[in-house]
Structure 1
């Protein structure tokens, strides 16, 4: 190796002089067991960004790569978040592996790269062998809240000093049944799709909205069966067509709230209405 330049490298248990030409492919993995599949696991890694690439652009590129690489890939949500006062993305998705669906949440933020003016992405991914339980969702959220970035971007650090950090985005989903006069609050899209009957969804008995009250529409991945056994299909939620009515305009009198568990802060329809006004989701433009 002709290049004698080195950089001081910090690992978990040691610090050493590393030849600058070597690329850092460090990955930290945490599991519940020594052997075999783990009910919950977490991996911290990083990836190089392209010159001038913004966080949203990196996230879009990552999603495209996963769509090509992971069988039956389904994006559950793609939300803005905050990691140690830095802008971040919170992705949730599933894919099929060895006959079962794996479920993953991944939070991404940009940090300073090794060369002046460069950036790289830090990726924190939690994986479950089945849908995330409330226990593991809460454990992952607590870990994220404790993160301190060693090399935050300068602009992000200055912004954090100048203004209070926004609250982390909550990926909850509203499900409205006007016929039942009932508003459900689910922890995320996966829970909403799992707990709302697909046949009723197909009959437009439920209307869905994101955390800001913006309307969502169901797209069926597996159609409902018309057979004797009436097997339900499966669906995902995506942004509704322009002109769809926002949740704030559909909070009819007499509506009852169902939900408000851990991390879901609403105790009444009045609190939902106040939240939507603050989120700008009371009205949708056509």
Structure 2
């Protein structure tokens, strides 16, 4: 008895599907690793070699020359994959106590949220060359384009003799509230929504 064309097509598909699936799996195994995300700066982007460390700071001031009455700084530094935010915050406090003259704590380290991520905030003042300096620092964990962990540090600094003014504090708070992440955090549950720019 002769089989119809649909039976033959069905049998052929059943024979070829496992072969095609195996071919696709092999193709995935042998595929080149994906190109890393581009490193983004304000004016350009490039593919950064994995061993080239990013030690950039973004510094925003009100003046071109001399000390600015207020500045906003974004810094980043590499940390170990198992780094703990609370431990890093305590290490930062220890470094501040050692390096700053006459440091006074205005607000102790406190948990806050920055761009949907867990963060720590501390506020303090000290004297630099006899002049008062008032600073608010925020730190949180994030990652670079190679998915390596980073400690992000956001700092607002006031050189006003009476401490950070209401206007400066408002500017700092609005800058922090407007922050958006470029890369998803390593633990995607840490941020509800991360922007991919």
TM-score between the two structures when normalised by the length of structure 1 = 0.51
For 1:159 and 1:110, the matched residues in 2 are separated by: 10
Alignment correspondent of 2:134: 103
Determine if contact 1:6/1:19 at 8 Å carries over to the other structure.
no
TM-score between the two structures when normalised by the length of structure 2 = 0.72
Instruction: Give the RMSD, CA atoms, in angstroms.
Output: 2.2
Matched ranges for 1:161-240 at <5 A: 161=192
Per-residue deviation, residues 134-191 of structure 1 (Å, max 9, x unmatched): 1111111111111001124243x425449xxxxxxxxxxxxxxxxxxxxxxxxxxxxx
Distance 1:102 1:161, change over 3 A: closer
For 1:61 and 1:138, the matched residues in 2 are separated by: 28
Alignment correspondent of 2:76: 46
Aligned residue-pair number = 156
Please point out which of 124, 130, 145 is paired with 1:93: 124
Determine if contact 2:145/2:183 at 8 Å carries over to the other structure.
no
Instruction: Please report how far the alpha carbon of residue 114 of structure 1 lies from its aligned counterpart in structure 2 after TM superposition.
Output: 5.2
Larger Rg, first or second structure (1 or 2)? 2
**Which blocks of at least 5 consecutive residues in structure 1 are unaligned?**
163-286
Instruction: Please report how far the alpha carbon of residue 7 of structure 1 lies from its aligned counterpart in structure 2 after TM superposition.
Output: 6.7
Alignment correspondent of 2:61: 31
Alignment correspondent of 1:70: 100
Alignment correspondent of 2:176: 144
**Which blocks of at least 5 consecutive residues in structure 2 are unaligned?**
1-34
Kindly indicate whether residue 185 of structure 2 is the aligned counterpart of residue 153 of structure 1: yes
Distance 1:159 1:107, change over 3 A: closer
Higher relative contact order structure (alpha carbons within 8 Å, sequence separation ≥ 6): 2
Alignment correspondent of 1:211: none
Determine if contact 1:49/1:58 at 8 Å carries over to the other structure.
no
Report runs of 4+ in structure 1 exceeding 6 Å deviation: none
Instruction: Please report how far the alpha carbon of residue 72 of structure 1 lies from its aligned counterpart in structure 2 after TM superposition.
Output: 1.3
Per-residue deviation, residues 18-61 of structure 1 (Å, max 9, x unmatched): 22222111111111110011111111111122341211111111
